[in-house]
Amino acid sequence: MKKAFKAGCRRAIGLDGCFLKGVSKGQMLVAVCKGGNNQMLALAWAVVEVENAFTWRWFVNILRHDLELGDGTGLTTLSDMQKGLDIAIKDLPPNAEQRMCARHVLANFSKKWKGIEIRNCFWRCAKSTYEQELQKYLDNMEKLGDGINGDLLYYNIDRWSKVYFKYLSCCDSVDNNMAESFNSWILGPRHKTIITMLEEIRVKMMRRVRQLREFSETWITNISPMALKVLQENTSKSMKCTLEWNGEYGFEVKDSWGNKFIVNLNSNTCTCRSWMLKGIPCCHAIAALHFRKLEPIHYVAHWYI
């Protein structure tokens, strides 16, 4: 797991805890990342008596040492606001970007504010990539209830909305599904005694690594199938864009909704921020690349190769 992470996985780690279901009580702490095809890859798991700041600090400290994470520069962590985890992250890798799972935020927010329209507006806020888009959806949210935005912004929006995410990890996830998927994947072993459980998880992971290796041999391009799918979807959207070129590297691109964005092919940036957040050219960037007769696939981040 350590070799896989250091060799080519994005520096984004989901941290989560789950209860043991068998006669042996306790909790399991897990650290999970995503491979080049956005598939779950567990890095570490450990059984503790209780989930608190001490056990999380112990777990994260070992993880930082084994994966050589240093002070956390370029690292992104995703969590469900577990008890003590925030303290552990702040104490150990101080420069790591900390994100909260938007699903967990929504679950707490929905205790007071319910309804499909509110939920849909929340997800639009979470998935917004630039400030004007976020402000538009916050304005829409304000119309759904008196004081609703005050309750929403109580949950540090800079930790669950893409607008405030950093670029270095090339991961734009707003949820902690990768860790929750692992917890569900080991549900059977979690009903057994500790030694048996750990042995079954080890064997399951060994099989999974083999399957992932075999699957990577079937890729038909230099990038993963997931990255190729996103690139193809963005290519279709780019056909509806119009652009103006400044004669060097800058482009002003207007999409089908009339929004204008600035693309710079010299710095590989777009003001919609989607390209930098995910590491895959957005529709605006693809329109500019096609204008210059360049292949967008060559501008996909190396994490997906």
pLDDT digits (tens, 9 = 90+) for 231-271: 999 999 999 999 999 888 899 999 988 899 999 999 999 99
Q: What is residue 107's predicted lDDT score, i.e. its pLDDT?
A: 92
Q: Rounded to an integer, what distance in angstroms lies between the CA atom of residue 268 and that of residue 232?
A: 18
Residue of 151, 160, 92, 89 lying closest to 127 (CA atoms): 160
- Could you tell me the strand order of the sheet in which 260-264 lies? 242-245, 250-254, 260-264, 269-270
**CA atoms in the 13 A half-sphere facing the CB of 173:** 26
What angle is formed at CA 301 by the lines to CA 5 and CA 4, rounded to 5 degrees?
10
Q: Rounded to an integer, what distance in angstroms lies between the CA atom of residue 33 and that of residue 9?
A: 7
- What are the distances in angstroms from CA 302 to CA 69, 76, 127, 151? 19, 17, 23, 40
Number of H helices and E strands in the chain, helices first, is: 12, 9
pLDDT digits (tens, 9 = 90+) for 150-195: 999 999 999 999 999 998 889 999 999 888 889 999 999 999 999 9
The answer to whether 31 touches 43, Cβ cutoff 8 Å, is: yes
Q: Rounded to an integer, what distance in angstroms lies between the CA atom of residue 243 and that of residue 237?
A: 13
Residue of 233, 253, 231 lying closest to 297 (CA atoms): 231
Write down the residue that tokens 């979470």 correspond to.
126
The answer to whether 216 touches 52, Cβ cutoff 8 Å, is: no
Q: Rounded to an integer, what distance in angstroms lies between the CA atom of residue 278 and that of residue 226?
A: 12
Tokens of 48: 């503790």
Write down the residue that tokens 């989930």 correspond to.
51
Residue 19, sorted as left (phi over 0), alpha (psi -120 to 50) or beta, turns out to be: beta
Q: What is residue 6's predicted lDDT score, i.e. its pLDDT?
A: 87
Q: What is residue 159's predicted lDDT score, i.e. its pLDDT?
A: 92
- Could you tell me the strand order of the sheet in which 97-100 lies? 40-48, 27-34, 12-19, 76-79, 97-100
The answer to whether 122 touches 109, Cβ cutoff 8 Å, is: yes
Q: What is residue 90's predicted lDDT score, i.e. its pLDDT?
A: 75
Dihedral over alpha carbons 76, 79, 84, 90 (to 10 degrees)? 20
Q: What is residue 94's predicted lDDT score, i.e. its pLDDT?
A: 81
User: pTM (2 decimals)?
Assistant: 0.89
Sign of CA dihedral 250, 300, 168, 131: positive
Report the percent of the chain where pLDDT is more than 90.
Answer: 68
Beta-bridge partner residues of 242: 254
What b-and-e string marks burial along 47-58, b requiring 16 or more CB atoms within 10 Å of the CB? ebeebbeebbbe
Tell me which DSSP letter residue 246 carries.
-
pLDDT at 288 over 90: yes
